[in-house]
Structure 1
Amino acid sequence: MSIAPALPAGLNPVRLRPAQPLEGRARARRTDAIVSDLRDVRRQADAHELTRQLIETNAAVARSMASRYRNRGIDLDDLEQVALLGLTKAAQRFDPAAGHDFLSFAVPTIRGELRRHFRDSGWMVRPPRRVQDLQTRIAGAQEELEPRLGRSPRPSELAAHLGEDTSDVVEALAADGCFTPTSLDAPVADGSSSIGDLLGGEDRALAQTEAKVMLDPLMRGLTARDRRILQLRFFQEQTQQEIAESVGLTQAQVSRVLTRILADMRVGLVERHVAA
């Protein structure tokens, strides 16, 4: 799947892979120094270069955020490109004179790009839009509540945090599998069969029984000649000319009789359905 959006012109994604990624405090110090330089920059070319350095310095953060969404139906490489696009947008919009921390500004933008990408492109089975939107909000609430609670939040806690009904939160959580539904080839608990092996097949006998129940009363209302014509046409698969020779009619007469019989039976089926 190749669905990642392109980065803006002038920012080659290859250049966003530093040979020695910065860690923790070193990245923060480097980011602060670049932001300080951006405050004092005068030339547009210098500003563009500093913005590129800001993206390069924090590219590992974007990739780390993308990795949280791995194994959910979209290739990690595509997710990383989406995250880098979010980082690039944040760097281009960032106002160094406002006094904000760059990552505090960038992280929501990156997360928003990833969630939007999943919302628009990641569903194999598409649930209602309200479920998709609520699931996006639940993901954000989980990230916020887990550090505070020291565990995964319960559906009731998520519902209270979001101001939603618990039943709606449970429905959205259950839809998580729509990103990557379980394969029918996946083994069941005992390992001797797959999920597909346990699914029932079409029961042709059931369909025949239903047809018999519906058609028997209508067949009993036909004349003996009409029943014979139907028998010859649909069970013995004779042509209209062969039927005509068997019952003493012309081919045109057989055609008209069949048209009448079938029309009467359709009316009878509709009336029985309405009455039921």
Structure 2
Amino acid sequence: MYTATGRLETNAMIKQYSPLVRRLAHQMIAKLPANVEIDDLIQVGLIGLTDAMSRFDSAQGVQFETFATQRIRGAMLDELRGSDWMSRGNRKQQREIEVAVHKLQQQLGRAPAESEIAKQMGLSLADYQELLGKVRGTQLVYLEDMSGDDGDNDFLDRHVADENENPVALLQDHRMRLALIEAIKTLPEREQFVMGMYYEQDMNLKEIAAVLGVTESRVCQLHSQSIARLRAKLRDH
């Protein structure tokens, strides 16, 4: 798709490769915190696509899609590196919730109720629910969880980049997915609904709130609590 002067035709190329941008965005979002919006990644990816079109040189012998994929993913990674995902204070509080959930799961042999978690943390139910809303944006995997013994922090490059050629990574991902599926089945029914609608049906918090007949802040609380339960359950994976 070139113009009469031999340049890539911008509008036609954007239309053709927009699905590639969306596909890469959805691949990334599955491994990122809940507060990262898919639309933001897509917008940044489109900028990367435009940059790829301006820099592409067919004389280099590389297919445009291969070149564009690198530029799109690179633009998304740069945006993510520059984002403050979650403050240290909020991450610490999320871990405290996770520890409380883990202890209660071990003691009770079942998923603890909100009131039980609140009591374990020495909080009133209202204060606990307020805390859940405060730590929104939590994730199943923290950056420091994936750091190596030498303090390696290249989480984004190693875990968001394309790993289709890495059999070990694919096997680990498969095991994690199976463990995650089983862990989700242990969640209270309403939290299962929230996780399913958010991650499988790609619904936002407002849409989920409308389906469940609760407030958006309540859905946020349920999501944060679900993540804490799942992290506690997945500790050994």
TM range (shorter): 0.3 to 0.5
Q: Which has the larger radius of gyration?
A: 1
Please, what TM-score do these two structures have when normalized by structure 1? 0.36
The structure, 1 or 2, with the larger RCO (C-alpha pairs under 8 Å, 6+ apart) is 2
Please, what TM-score do these two structures have when normalized by structure 2? 0.41
